[in-house]
Amino acid sequence: MKILVTGGAGYIGSVTVKRLLQENHEVIVFDNLEQGHKEVVPCNLILGDLRDKLSYEPLKRQHFDAVIHFAARALAGESMEKPALYFENNILGGLTLLEFMREEHIPYIIFSSTCAVYGTPEKVPVTEQESKKPESVYGESKLAFEKILYWYDTIYQIKHINLRYFNACGAAIDGSSGEMHHPETHIIPLAMQSALRQISFPLFGNDYPTPDGSCIRDYIHIEDLAIAHVLGLKRLVNTKTSDSYNLSTGKGYSNKEIIHMVQKVSGVRFPVEIKPRRFGDPAIIYGDNTKAKNELGFEPQYSDLETIIQSAWQWHKK
């Protein structure tokens, strides 16, 4: 297939592009490089912004078979400080992309969604039937685009799959790319910084109702996410049916387990500073991936904690 990958120069997009190329698909990456890096793109890269209709000119009459849509702002905290940026980029950008797809008769789209559409779940593990009640502008923007996709299927028969990630983590197994946000807010790269710079790590809360008192989250390796996008595309083409899937491991690791594994892999016993709980942090969230296993054939291969941390450490050291 000939596939357009938006945000293909980014953290998860670049790893998925390599997986698509391994499967002998033809891939063109469309990215504005605000958050992506051109050196990790192993195929044709077209610079452009989703929100700018003129940016699509080089993509016209390319006869794409499908789109995989990663391009988005993805930091929940930042979204609460810059809501307009998130609504404009994640909703308006996506809508402009869909109009391009409609005009070019591209029938399929795989959407990089998020478990943030659920907000604080009513029960765990979180299934796809969980009520949707986002608690950030980021989660709201992703849910809004899921609803737009529903109507573009209903009206124009553009079929979609929403892949709702839990905590994306790790680095490419070949060491070519890894997690690098500005500002950085995610626990694993922050713990890596503590190990590399030998500075204290802030642990927000150690009195949660969990076995070790720290929050528990579901961590999914980016290589497993990449595999899931290829499986999702196959499913969509074969069934021509829109759907949504959780991409998770079905279990969680605590913040303290993350810290201890980073210390073990790095060999650095950096200090940990206990701080008050952050507002809005639930004690436990992990996802139910039964539907993805049964319908996509999804089986996480790289998401054990040691593999996650080993891959991240090798990349961060570089």
E-strand spans in the chain?
A: 2-6, 26-31, 44-47, 66-69, 108-114, 159-165, 167-169, 201-204, 216-217, 219-221, 243-247, 253-254, 272-275
* Given the residues 138, 165, 219, 245, the one annotated as active site: 138
CB 114, CB 54: distance < 8 Å:
no
Is 152 annotated in the active site? no
Cα distances from 129 to residues 107, 125, 229, 232, in angstroms, run 26, 11, 21, 19
Residue 63 falls in which region: left (phi positive, over 0), alpha (psi -120 to 50) or beta = left
- Residue 125: cis peptide before it, omega within 30 degrees of 0: yes
Q: Within a 13 Å sphere around the CA of 14, how many CA atoms are in the beta-carbon half?
A: 24
Catalytic residue set: 138
